[in-house]
Amino acid sequence: MHPVGTQRKTVAPQSRAAPFAALLVANVALAFGAWFVRHADTGPVAAGLWRIALAAPVLAGLAVASGSRPTPLGGRLWWLLGLGGVAFAADLGCWHLGIRRTTLANATLFGNCATLIFPVYGFVAARTLPTRLQAIALGCAAVGAALLMGRSYQLDPRHLAGDLLCILAGLLYTIYFVLMARVRQTLAPVSALALSTVASVLPLLGFALALGEAIVPHLWWPLVSLALVSQVLGQGCMVYALGRLSPLVIGVALLVQPVVAAAIGWASYGERLGLADWIGAALVAAALVMIRGQEVAPDAPARHPEPA
């Protein structure tokens, strides 16, 4: 198994279309996560627990239906899956706590700080520098994010704890990306997500109990939606894309989430979109078009029997 970025190859445009489409679907689906958490009547970490617990049997069934069968895995792969599950559990716990302590705009902005960190990791791992076009794309993405979120961001001491929790969540999400990108070199996407999802259940349960949160819900639709939309569809498409697209593309595409979050705010809460929002969205779209044409993918996953 090669570390991410040590061997890279240009992928034909036909083979990039499906992963890129899946990446966009993933970010649209994941953008609804904060909205579902706000509607849950459990504690915020408990909402993350239900997201995982309800999604796990669905993902296991999809893995079996896709032809995955139990097979021995190496110790290194188990470590990557276990650490990935713990990192994702900690990410969800921190982000869900932050959502309740800051604005949705701040939570979306800081929770996606992997936008810049993950591409940097990709260049370091590949021991290369970004091309001029890639650097321009990153610059457009950064300016677009600042314009999109700048108008709604509020520098308020009351939001400091939530902001810091969401920043920590973004860092943990980056760690999860790195670990799962390595897992995807060996495992199929559904198998990788199913196993890492199961590995997240106990840590989230422990976090929720330690915080003394209400765990059993009275209102189920936000939690079922969180599981099916955010975990099965959103995270499933994201893990699929992680095995086939570069960290640069993954990172820039994360900015689709603030764009969708702004639309959700407009539709649900009457938050008007100003000129800066539209310019920011346009710059994010331009960045996606630029890096889409410059895509260099990691090694294709090995074709081995996959575990359920």
pLDDT digit string (tens) for 51-107? 999 999 999 999 888 776 656 667 788 899 999 999 999 999 999 999 888 776 677
pLDDT number for residue 308: 42
pLDDT number for residue 169: 92
Helix axes 104-111, 132-150, angle to 10 degrees: 160
Q: What are 186's two structure tokens? A: 């060996």
Q: Is the pLDDT of residue 8 over 50?
A: no
| Inter-CA distances, 137 with 9, 20, 144, 148, 158, Å | 20, 16, 10, 16, 34
Q: How far is it, in rounded angstroms, from Cα 235 to Cα 250?
A: 13
Q: How far is it, in rounded angstroms, from Cα 2 to Cα 302?
A: 11
The residue written with tokens 């650490």 in the block is 83
Task: Give the three-state DSSP class for 75.
Answer: helix
pTM for the full predicted model: 0.79
pLDDT number for residue 223: 96
Tell me the residue type at 247. Answer: P
Q: How many other β-carbons are positioned within 10 Å of the β-carbon of residue 28? A: 18
Which range is least confidently modeled, 98-107, 188-197, 293-302? Answer: 293-302
Q: How far is it, in rounded angstroms, from Cα 299 to Cα 11?
A: 10
